[in-house]
Amino acid sequence: MRRRFMTAAAIGIFVAGLPQSSKSAESARVAQVQKTPVSAEAMKAQQPTGRPHLYTHAKVGFTVAVPPSAEVVERKDADQISIRSRKGFVINLQTGPARPSIPLSRMSALLEAKYLGQGKPWSLRGADKPTRIGGMPAHEVLYEGAASRAKVVVARGAKRDYVFIFIAPETDFLKLSGEFDWVLTHFRPSAGDLSAPGTPPEAMQAAAGQRFSEPGYGYVIEYPAAWEMSKPTAMAAMFSGREGTPEYAAIIGVQNIAPPGAQNAGESVKRTVNQLTSSLGNAVRGFRVVDDKAWTYMRGNLKLHGRQLFVVYTHASESFKKRMIIIPRPDGSVSHVWSYTAPNRQFAALSPVAERMLHSWTILTDRRQ
């Protein structure tokens, strides 16, 4: 019996600086440290409304979701775009060859000689932390200036670094940060970048190879050819690498939950989250939710609003990390729960294959499917 558990500026970094057409406007409103945390409920309310569109860079191949209020401006002389919103914020995105000799935590410092200091747009460097964007390791830093704030996020793929700079007026920074987080959540890097440096060779194979498409489950998902699939309980599927491989430590699960009393999609997600966290919290030691935010599923014309949680806990003297995405069915009767679990020390290295499986996950709208 396997001992598993709980699965039942770049702007300045790559080129000279900010786009000339936007320097003067952005200099007046760069960066101030986020001093007040925003609740998950508030962040959900700040997600974009209306219909977004997807932009794919013709040369590089990355894809980004553009909020309904915004437009994309391309720079022809660099692999860089600006997303400019009528709400008053700007997101600059630039990419260039990966620079693994420079730690991610130091990449934003390459901007500071030009933008941080007396007489420059940024007056103070604020909090920073590691994160993940589009399945890649990343690092974010906050900056404060005279009348605006900025958040710099640098993500590193196997071939390219991606630098995001979010700039918004100080008075609206917290309110608009939800739109930036939404853009980051739906960012997809160019082909090959999900195989991050240091990833075990077995984890670099594409998620395609086998396909799970059982009638009545309401979704299809692809998984690596060398992986195994099992059904631990009714309406639940579990995927993992074979014993003896590094991916044996990774567990991808998808289960369907029909929470009692849910009257609509929002209630279904909320009750499912409460049920999951209560059940897991009672079964392990040191259970803690480290991140909880809105998450939107988009495929073609189908758009479903759900939640994403990262939790940590200890079981059998091993520290684990778990990512959960909860998405309601269109009619709200059932919530689909996708999850990725691995020992904390292996979570980042095995994330690329989990991310590929997540991207292949397709929710079907026909009740019979």
Q: Do 10-185 and 201-363 show the same overall fold?
A: yes
Share of residues in the chain with pLDDT > 90 (%)? 39
What pTM did the predictor assign? 0.49
Domain assignments of the chain as residue spans, ordered by start: 10-185, 201-363
Residue 336 has pLDDT above 90, yes or no: yes
Q: Higher confidence at residue 76 or residue 293?
A: 293
CATH of 10-185, one of 3.40.1000.10, 3.40.50.970, 3.20.20.300, 2.40.40.20: 3.40.1000.10
Spatial neighbors of 226 by CB under 8 A, at least 6 apart, are 202, 205, 209, 241, 242, 245, 247
Residue 201 has pLDDT above 80, yes or no: no
Q: Which amino acid is present at 133?
A: I
Q: How confident is the model at residue 90 (pLDDT cuts 50, 70, 90)?
A: very high
Query: Exposed (0-12), middle (13-18) or buried (19+): which is 368, by Cβ within 10 Å?
Result: exposed
* The pairing of beta strand 90-97 with beta strand 209-212: unpaired
Spatial neighbors of 135 by CB under 8 A, at least 6 apart, are 189, 194, 196, 351, 352, 354, 355, 356
Please give the mean pLDDT across all residues of the chain.
80
Spatial neighbors of 157 by CB under 8 A, at least 6 apart, are 98, 136, 189, 190, 192, 193, 194, 195, 196
Task: Give the CATH H-level superfamily of domain 201-363.
Answer: Mog1/PsbP, alpha/beta/alpha sandwich (3.40.1000.10)
Question: Quick one: average pLDDT of 59-78?
Answer: 87
Tell the residue number behind the tokens 């987080």, with chain if given: 181
Q: How confident is the model at residue 195 (pLDDT cuts 50, 70, 90)?
A: low
> Which bin fits 199, alpha (ψ -120 to 50), beta or left (φ > 0)?
beta
Kindly list the strands in the beta sheet with 362-363, ordered across the sheet, starting from the edge strand earlier in the chain: 209-212, 219-224, 362-363
Residue 131 has pLDDT above 60, yes or no: yes
Residue 123 has pLDDT above 80, yes or no: yes
3-state class (DSSP) for residue 306 = strand
Question: What per-residue confidence (pLDDT) applies to 76?
Answer: 77
Q: What is the C-alpha separation between 2 and 238, in angstroms, rounded?
A: 13
